[in-house]
Amino acid sequence: MTELRFDDYVVVVTGAGGGLGRAHALTFGSRGAKVVVNDLGGGFNGDGSPKRSMADEVVKEIQKAGGTAVADYNNVIDGDNIIATAVEHFGTVHILVNNAGILRDVSFRNMKDKDWDLLQQVHMSGTFKTSRAAWPLMQKQRFGRIVNTASGAGTYGNFGQTNYCAAKAAIIGFTFALAEEGAQYNINANVLTPIAASRLTQTVMAPDLLAKLDPGFVAPIVPVLAHKTSTDTGRLFELGGGCITRFRWERSQGIEISAYANPLELLENWQNISDFSKPRYVRPVTSIVDSSTLPSAEKT
Ligand code: NAD
């Protein structure tokens, strides 16, 4: 095998008019996929008039290189319409890359409702809307690959980004839940926390750092996760600038207590509760809950 191919696969990439999304769309376009290049074309903070040229330019790039692509200009908040574009042109969607995003950075004290609400709508609701619209198609064809885009802001927190951190952390939990529900339908869901030079990062990073963060360092993992041979699901990858790692939670050794234990007992053992020198790795909740009681037996 010389490369991973996606002939006859339909790929939707949201926010594909620039930055990481453009890199994902070009990567799939050059490997035989039929690509829906979605981009609203608004400003980096969700304000500004939409410009169709952002998606159009990427479609032209893919077509010029011999690939197949159509533009879609819907807001991800209307994610159903983006999936409808895929169905209208190509009959279905096999691979969904939820990537569209904005920033509205402001210290918590000064955060307005709009800064909060718009962030949740674009990142969280956008990811939900496209995924929910694609889900029945993926279930029916017994194949689906969803790659979501979170951020280190969601795993670590970041000053001035409570809105963004909350939305990105939500996307991580959302992805893990999709992986649980998708397993029986061969629908895999994974999530990235990337770092790359883009319209979003150029306002906060120095030019010499940006020069080392080509989105092309992030793009190659997406075909790996999206390929029919991939069995990875429910995973989080932290990547960018030439480094790719998997990221997972860990537990401290902890202590055992009785119900309504004296809180002072906890304080006396605080060092053990916080001791990560011998980490324990987290099992999903479904491995400790009787799965026959979960509402996963739904039939299509
Ligand atoms: P970018 O601004 O270049 O790309 C985001 C794209 O999404 C833009 O082209 C924009 O027009 C589009 N978009 C915004 N709102 C939209 C909407 N409502 N509907 C449709 N399209 C919309 O920035 P990027 O850095 O390439 O960001 C891509 C994703 O990666 C975002 O989700 C971002 O939060 C995430 N991310 C980026 C970095 C980084 O270092 N660049 C780090 C962590 C996470």
**ipTM summary value:** 0.99
pLDDT score, position 281: 87
pLDDT score, position 122: 98
How far apart, in whole angstroms, are the C-alpha atoms of residue 300 and residue 290? 22
50-99 pLDDT per residue, tens: 999 999 999 999 999 999 999 999 999 999 999 999 999 999 999 999 99
Q: Is 198 in the pocket of ligand 1 (CB under 6 A)?
A: yes
284: pLDDT confidence band, cut at 50, 70 and 90?
Answer: low
Buried b or exposed e, range 88-125, using 16+ CB within 10 angstroms: eebebbbbbbbbbbbbbbeeeeebeeebbebbebbbbb
Residue 73 bears catalytic tag:
no
pLDDT score, position 290: 47
CA of 203 to the centre of ligand 1 (A): 13
130-149 pLDDT per residue, tens: 999 999 999 999 999 999 99
How large is the angle between the packed helices 79-90 and 126-140, nearest 10 degrees?
A: 40
- When pLDDT is averaged across residues 168-197 and rounded to a whole number, the result is 98
Residue 154, exposed/middle/buried by CB under 10 A (0-12, 13-18, 19+)? buried
pLDDT score, position 253: 86
Q: Is 194 in the pocket of ligand 1 (CB under 6 A)?
A: yes
How far apart, in whole angstroms, are the C-alpha atoms of residue 275 and residue 133? 44
Residues whose CB falls within 8 Å of the CB of residue 236, separated by 6 or more in sequence, listed in order: 150, 155, 172, 175, 190, 191, 192, 193, 246, 247, 248
**Contact criterion met (CB below 8 Å) for 44 and 199:** yes
Res. 299: pLDDT tops 80: no
pLDDT score, position 2: 86
Task: Report the Cα–Cα distance between both ends of the chain, in Å, rounded.
Answer: 35
Q: What is the DSSP letter of 278?
A: S
Ligand 1 closest atom vs CA 75:
19
**Which amino acid is present at 136?**
P
Q: Whose CA is nearest to atom 3 of ligand 1?
A: 19
Task: Identify the active-site residue in 164, 185, 260, 281.
Answer: 164
Q: Whose CA is nearest to atom 34 of ligand 1?
A: 101
CA of 99 to the centre of ligand 1 (A): 6
Query: Per the structure block, which two tokens stand in for 98?
Result: 């939820």
Kind and range of the H or E run holding 13: strand 10-13
Strands (DSSP E) contained in 114-227 are 144-149, 187-194
pTM reported for the whole predicted model: 0.95
**Which amino acid is present at 58?**
V
Cα Rg, the chain, nearest whole Å: 21
pLDDT score, position 297: 42
Res. 294: pLDDT tops 50: no
In the numeric block, the tokens 């906890």 are attached to 266
Q: Is 67 in the pocket of ligand 1 (CB under 6 A)?
A: no
Ligand 1 closest atom vs CA 54:
9
Q: Is 190 in the pocket of ligand 1 (CB under 6 A)?
A: no
Q: How many CA atoms lie within 13 A of 212 on its CB side?
A: 9
Res. 298: pLDDT tops 90: no
How far apart, in whole angstroms, are the C-alpha atoms of residue 148 and residue 237? 11
Q: Is 200 in the pocket of ligand 1 (CB under 6 A)?
A: yes
Q: Whose CA is nearest to atom 41 of ligand 1?
A: 196
Maximum CA extent, the chain? 70
**Contact criterion met (CB below 8 Å) for 129 and 76:** yes
CB atoms under 10 Å from CB of 296, counted, come to 12
Q: Is 149 in the pocket of ligand 1 (CB under 6 A)?
A: yes
CA of 156 to the centre of ligand 1 (A): 19
CB atoms under 10 Å from CB of 181, counted, come to 16
Ligand 1 closest atom vs CA 15:
7
Res. 292: pLDDT tops 60: no
Closest CA to 93 of 26, 8, 184: 8
Question: Ligand 1: which of 12, 13, 20 to mutate, judged by most atoms within 8 Å of the beta carbon?
Answer: 20
In the numeric block, the tokens 């569209």 are attached to 100
- Lowest model confidence (mean pLDDT) among 43-52, 56-65, 100-109, 284-293: 284-293
282: pLDDT confidence band, cut at 50, 70 and 90?
Answer: confident
Q: Is 182 in the pocket of ligand 1 (CB under 6 A)?
A: no
Q: Is 41 in the pocket of ligand 1 (CB under 6 A)?
A: yes
How far apart, in whole angstroms, are the C-alpha atoms of residue 134 and residue 141? 11
CA of 190 to the centre of ligand 1 (A): 17
